[in-house]
Structure 1
């Protein structure tokens, strides 16, 4: 029991420390009327699942993915941020009309957007998860994955609660969707810079 509690503790610390900034990204998505809550949840889980799966495979193959190439994912949030800015500039908004909401929920583009941003924002997590998984048994890796799934739900719940808070919710919903494009663009630039991806183009 004590051993498994140690595994749980490690999983909680690792997930929390590598996903602190993700809560702000989720706030932006939940505050954006173009995104349905269901789309954000699905996209977030798909993104985390990809990060987890890649880390597991990398740990089995002892594969080290250069950070500079992982940093290329930074272009995803930049793209979605610029696209959202263009939509705001041209007055492309989703109001409270049910038909508009149906249009916003149609297709899978929003889910793809959340998934790619989640992967890009957590691209560096692979370098942390991989050595962790490499030193664990298959059973422990599975347990850690389950804990990650539970904590992802906690992250989503916290962000959704803040957006719908009686006091904080109104200003977040009113201005959040206007702020999120700049957050996404800044996030993408930061990912490219910290990963050293800029060096690929200089070379």
Structure 2
């Protein structure tokens, strides 16, 4: 086993997922006051990232489940969810951002598949980075890298929750999170589509 694989994997994860902390903080802000929101967000994050790893590992072994030309169109996932969140925010605009919502209902509670879809789409470009790394690593190093990624994912989730619960940030997200979330999701979607040249953009 390459003795430096743990450090390399940690650095690779940090570089390719730094923007995910902002999205996680917005999801945690959206889920404030909703029962089990933390577990839902964590499960969605792990589900989405597991899908990224599955595609990358498969591609490293020569099985292409997701054609490279299809990756830019993953931007449609956060774009659609962002538009949906914007519509919900518009419909509930008169309620104010600081109101408590029913933990069992309401538009603010993130869903596992929504979080997973955003995670997968936002990490679609990660696949292109992970594949050559996995392809040149032996099975042992690849396994270590995947384990490091999954451990650091828990750290990322904790960081997103931490930022969302800091008093100053929490107040700002409580007031503006319903606006920021759709803006960020739509921005991610458009960026993925444009960077990948989807639809001839």
CA distance in 1 between counterparts of 2:163 and 2:122 reads: 21
The corresponding residue for 1:58 is 59
What does residue 6 of structure 2 align with?
8
- Shift of the 87–54 alpha-carbon distance from structure 1 to 2, 3 Å rule, reads same
TM-score (norm: length of structure 2): 0.87
Is 1:103–2:105 an aligned residue pair?
yes
Partner of 1:186: 187
Q: Which residue of 1 aligns with 2:160?
A: 159
CA positional deviation for 1:133:
0.5
Structure 2 equivalent of residue 27 of structure 1: 25
Q: CA deviation at 1:104?
A: 5.4
Comparing 181-190 with 55-64, greater Cα deviation is found at: 55-64
Offset of residue 138 of structure 1? 1.2
- Given that 2:58 and 2:65 are in contact with CA atoms closer than 8 Å, whether structure 1 keeps it comes out as no
Offset at residue 63 of structure 1 (A): 4.2
- What residue ranges of structure 2 are gaps of 5+ in the alignment? none
Distance in 2 separating the partners of 1:131 and 1:64: 16
Aligned to 1:124: 125
Residue 140 (structure 2) aligns with: 139
Counterpart Cα distance in 2 of 1:118 and 1:33: 16
Greater alpha carbon shift after TM alignment, 161-170 vs 71-80: 161-170
What SS does structure 2 have at the residue aligned with 1:12? helix
CA distance in 1, matches of 2:64, 2:77: 24
Larger mean CA deviation between 77-86 and 161-170 belongs to 161-170
- Please report the RMSD computed on the Cα atoms of aligned residues, expressed in angstroms: 2.4
Match of 1:78 in 2: 79
Aligned residues: 194
Query: Helix, strand or coil for the counterpart of 1:61?
Result: coil
Q: Where does structure 1 lack aligned partners over 5 or more consecutive residues? A: none
Cross-structure match for 1:169: 170
> Normalised by the size of structure 1, how large is the TM-score?
0.86
